[in-house]
Structure 1
Amino acid sequence: MTTLRLRALLLPVPLLALLGLLQGCAVGPDFRAPAAPATPSVAAAPLPARTAEAEGPAGGPQRFALGQGVASQWWKAFGSPGLDALVDAALAASPDLQAAEAALRNAQETAFAQRGAFWPTVDASYMPTRQKTSGALSSPLADGDITRYTLHTAQLSIGYAPDVFGGTRRAVEAQDAQVDVQRWQREAVGTTLVTNVVSTAIQEASLRAQIEATQQLVDLATRLLDGARRRHAAGQIGGADIAAQESALAQMQATLPPLQKQLAAQRSRLAVLTGRLPGDPLPQQFTLDALQLPAELPVSLPSQLVQQRPDIRAAEAQLHAAAAQVGVATAARLPNLTLTATLGSSALGVSQLLRSGGGFWSVGGTLLQPVFHGGMLLHQQRAAQAAYAQAEAQYRSTVLTAFQNTADTLQAIVSDADTLRATAAAEAAARRSLAAVQRQREAGAAAQADLVLAQQTLQQAMLATAQARAARLGDSVALYQALGGWWQVADSSAR
């Protein structure tokens, strides 16, 4: 095979220089992350130095640490090893989180594949072809039948599309932004998962407290009914008083099954959140006494919040991808240059492919300028611009919703502390009232209806207090979720 002159495959130096200059530009908007809202605080109103406090579980005061970030394992602030173990189990076994991680890997591999467009394509081919030519075309001087033969062709094909106007770079940029979208969506799934586990554990603890309070009152009402029956047998009270106490006891007993049903539902939910079936046993059981109220809560600055919230960061990445797609659509309307080259050899036998005489080569280029596509390319560009405007509006909406969510949660923390103080005081007063009415009833100075009312008042107060204690714990969880950022801290710590 004759030695090929490789310089024949090279483009002229001036053309290469021109291509290098052209590839330095990229059509379409260059993305810049939107600025954080111009507000001094994420709270809608000034926060107190500390919240109100009350006696009992979850009754301590809470302080706000302005500008402080969320800890990587914020759920440990509740001081429950059982809760810590349950969160670890959920992070290890949740199919939702596993699906989000697989979606992230999918986006990453797609981005790697997209980068292949920057490089030339090189393909090798080998094609043996059995042929028969017309006998009239054969030489009369040739020996034997040469109209039948096998032609062996080996060829190397090279193709390269210079990214003259940056369409490929914008496509890669858009795909990289989609990787960011999936990364932040994975963080959102993880945040929601941990939040759901902790919130469900708190709800379980609240229901156990409500069931315990109701059972205590049922036991009390049962003892009061037994005493009333003894007095009725002695002729001290009438049948109406017995009926009133029986009604009060039945009403209290009727509130237990709904609470027990809710408790079973929370246990099933915890099992599913940790990758178990609803009927699988859970070793942990949660009570309000075993959960600590975080004494110090982080309050991020506005500039921190837009960097920490996974929904904001995902919306920002979607905006970035939309901006890059405008460049892709714009570049599709501009000239496209493709360079090709082939190098190969043909022979009647495989062993002859590398011998002289059978080699061939070609080099060329194609410059394609779209002229008429029925308006398709123009409208695709306009559609990309509209998608960018849509993503920009969705980003603003996401930011506003995030700031509202954070401000509402901070206000709830302050208000629910006041609520617990009031409900705890109401419960204490209801206990004193019931004790006083019991003494008066035994002395004959109070009616049975007064005793029934005192029991019902105490039941309502005890349930309200249990719910208020759980609300304070739940508000703290909601704040950690509203601020976000803990997943980033965990990732950086792992690295």
Structure 2
Amino acid sequence: MMSFDYKTSVMAVAVAIALTACTFGPNGAPPAMPSPAHYGAGAQPAKTVAAGGVAQQFDIGAVGVPQWWQLYRSDALSALVEEGLRNSPTLGAAQRTLAAAQQELRAQVGASTLPSIDAAAQVDRGRTPLVPGIGPSEVRYNFFAGQVLASYTFDLFGATRSANAASAARVDVQAYQLEAARRALAANIVGTTISVAALDRQIALTERLVAVARTAADEDQHRYTLGSVSRAQALASTQDAASAAASLPALRQQRATAIHALAVLMGRTPDNAPAVPALDSLTLPEHVPVVVPSDLLRSRPDIQAADAAVKAAAADVGAATAQLFPSLSLTASMGRGGFSWPAVLSGAGGLWAIGASLSQPIFHGGALLAHRKASIDAYDAAVLNYKSTVLSAFQNVADSLAALDNDAQTLASTEAAAQAAQAGFDDTASRRRMGSLPSTAEHASEQRFLNARIGAVRAASQRMNDTVALFQAMGELPPGQPQTASSQ
């Protein structure tokens, strides 16, 4: 009866300690960050100047768009993105890695928070020598046993709970990193497609530019032969044609590199590169969201990953602190055993055992305290990394917004230059047909027009690509966020 009272008292004390156990680490909340009125050094304009027929509107306070690439209104572009998200081996590997981490977490939580129960069976054949000359010289025997073993360690001070929380937060980090990889893949596919389409247009214009320059060079060479122009002018025309032709291989190389990269992003081999829509078939999104800074902290997966890393580091501090306190474990077994099957099955064959162990760290060479200090330093580093990630995100958004404003101004100027060059070319060509101007004037005017058009194409593609960067920078608010381990 005294033994029963003693065991009951031990259990009662253990339960009381477990219920009153406190948290030995930081709460894991991210540090407070400033919420500026606007991202950049100056106030955010409501819209850009009109360029390419579009004045982009900045929708302040809007939420991120999940499938923002559809705003370019190109079924071909959307198909490229969807194929890439579906077939990219890099993204697929990240998904399977996350799935494996989630299963490992389930295994860790189940093994550490629930009792373990195992079945064991034993069959032995043994020989024991006896004293020589007295009876038989040896005894041979069989032994049979079967038991069910159970054990459980009480999480008195939260060591297991903190360790599991740290593991869960690290799985969350992987989940947010996967979401960041998914968004980056979509942005890379859209941006590369725009670059290839712009290069196609530049190559076509440059080929015409080379053809015009060669025609002008041939005509000047003929005039030099006739003595109507100087040798210097003929050589200058030849130099201009050669310089224009020299720019073509570089453009074609850029195009080949970009299309090969696009194929790999989509999970294809470079020789199976996809067809790319024409630049003129892509519509620049007129409305772009500008998430307020306070919402950006929840919408960007890189910030969410840094937040989860802070929670993991805080839980590590709690686990390291709990290791300094006692640990209580219970073990029990029940089964049957004997030297023969009849003995095993009889009432005398019953086996059972129950025990408890309490351990308290006393001296470990300073290892436990050093481990706790290391955990605290790692937590401080995670907090600083979170602050750095947030500041970088603010800068990313500010740069993207400034780029769109400046891109619109650049495009407006290059378009004005191209329109003036085209008007000049049309006027020169008309006068050439009437015989009032030589062909050299027409060729020179067309070359100026083609160069102006190439500049406008570059400006338009840069504006489209910077719009891609802004959509990616905005992130995506719930419920579009990934399902994390802590929410499962």
Return the TM-score normalized by structure 1: 0.89
Where 1:165 maps in the other structure, the secondary structure is: coil
- Give, in angstroms, the shift of residue 42 of structure 1: 3.3
Where 2:314 maps in the other structure, the secondary structure is: helix
The one of 334, 349, 353 aligned to 1:358: 349
CA contact (8 A) 2:129 2:138 kept: no
The count of aligned residue pairs is: 480
Deviations 1:358-394, CA, capped at 9 Å, x for gaps: 2122211111111111111110000000000111111
Where 1:344 maps in the other structure, the secondary structure is: strand
Per the alignment, do residues 428 and 181 of structure 1 end up closer, same or farther by CA in structure 2, a change over 3 Å counting? Answer: same
Name the counterpart of 1:163.
Answer: 155
The one of 119, 122, 126 aligned to 1:127: 122
Deviations 1:209-245, CA, capped at 9 Å, x for gaps: 2112212222333443455456556654344433332
Whether 1:242 aligns to 2:234 is: yes
Whether 1:47 aligns to 2:44 is: yes
CA contact (8 A) 1:217 1:252 kept: yes
Name the counterpart of 2:68.
Answer: 74
- Give, in angstroms, the shift of residue 399 of structure 1: 0.5
Deviations 1:237-275, CA, capped at 9 Å, x for gaps: 344433332222221111111101111111101110011
Per the alignment, do residues 293 and 237 of structure 1 end up closer, same or farther by CA in structure 2, a change over 3 Å counting? Answer: same
Q: Which amino acid aligns with 1:117?
A: S
Distance in 1 of aligned mates of 2:252 and 2:301: 36
Whether 1:270 aligns to 2:262 is: yes
Matched ranges for 1:90-489 at <5 A:
90-115=84-109, 116-136=111-131, 147-228=139-220, 231=223, 236-282=228-274, 284-350=275-341, 352-433=343-424, 457-485=448-476, 489=480
Distance in 2 of aligned mates of 1:94 and 1:432: 47
CA contact (8 A) 2:298 2:477 kept: no
Distance in 2 of aligned mates of 1:102 and 1:10: 52
CA contact (8 A) 1:43 1:407 kept: yes
Where 2:331 maps in the other structure, the secondary structure is: strand
Moved more, 60-69 or 384-393: 60-69
Per the alignment, do residues 10 and 402 of structure 1 end up closer, same or farther by CA in structure 2, a change over 3 Å counting? Answer: farther
CA contact (8 A) 1:94 1:275 kept: yes
CA contact (8 A) 1:110 1:175 kept: no
Distance in 2 of aligned mates of 1:237 and 1:244: 11
Name the counterpart of 1:30.
Answer: 27
Where 2:51 maps in the other structure, the secondary structure is: coil
Where 2:272 maps in the other structure, the secondary structure is: coil
Moved more, 320-329 or 356-365: 356-365
CA contact (8 A) 1:167 1:332 kept: yes
Moved more, 242-251 or 436-445: 436-445
- Give, in angstroms, the shift of residue 477 of structure 1: 0.3
Per the alignment, do residues 53 and 139 of structure 1 end up closer, same or farther by CA in structure 2, a change over 3 Å counting? Answer: farther
Distance in 2 of aligned mates of 1:273 and 1:351: 71
Per the alignment, do residues 425 and 332 of structure 1 end up closer, same or farther by CA in structure 2, a change over 3 Å counting? Answer: same
Distance in 2 of aligned mates of 1:406 and 1:345: 71
CA contact (8 A) 2:216 2:443 kept: no
CA contact (8 A) 1:248 1:452 kept: no
Where 2:58 maps in the other structure, the secondary structure is: strand
Per the alignment, do residues 137 and 74 of structure 1 end up closer, same or farther by CA in structure 2, a change over 3 Å counting? Answer: farther
Where 1:127 maps in the other structure, the secondary structure is: strand
Where 2:407 maps in the other structure, the secondary structure is: helix
Moved more, 46-55 or 226-235: 226-235
Where 1:199 maps in the other structure, the secondary structure is: helix
CA contact (8 A) 2:59 2:290 kept: yes
Distance in 1 of aligned mates of 2:304 and 2:88: 23
Question: What root-mean-square deviation, in Å, do the aligned CA atoms of Structure 1 and Structure 2 show?
Answer: 3.0
Distance in 1 of aligned mates of 2:324 and 2:205: 73
Distance in 1 of aligned mates of 2:5 and 2:414: 85
CA contact (8 A) 1:27 1:167 kept: no
Per the alignment, do residues 139 and 80 of structure 1 end up closer, same or farther by CA in structure 2, a change over 3 Å counting? Answer: farther
Distance in 1 of aligned mates of 2:448 and 2:277: 27
Name the counterpart of 1:15.
Answer: 10
User: Which segments of 5 or more consecutive residues in structure 2 lack a partner in the other structure?
Assistant: none
Where 1:23 maps in the other structure, the secondary structure is: helix
Per the alignment, do residues 137 and 71 of structure 1 end up closer, same or farther by CA in structure 2, a change over 3 Å counting? Answer: farther
Per the alignment, do residues 50 and 38 of structure 1 end up closer, same or farther by CA in structure 2, a change over 3 Å counting? Answer: closer
Per the alignment, do residues 345 and 8 of structure 1 end up closer, same or farther by CA in structure 2, a change over 3 Å counting? Answer: farther
User: Which segments of 5 or more consecutive residues in structure 1 lack a partner in the other structure?
Assistant: none
Distance in 2 of aligned mates of 1:489 and 1:123: 43
Percent of counterpart pairs with the same letter?
36
Deviations 1:276-305, CA, capped at 9 Å, x for gaps: 1111142x2232201110010011011211
Deviations 1:435-459, CA, capped at 9 Å, x for gaps: 66775999898997x8887566444
CA contact (8 A) 1:427 1:462 kept: yes
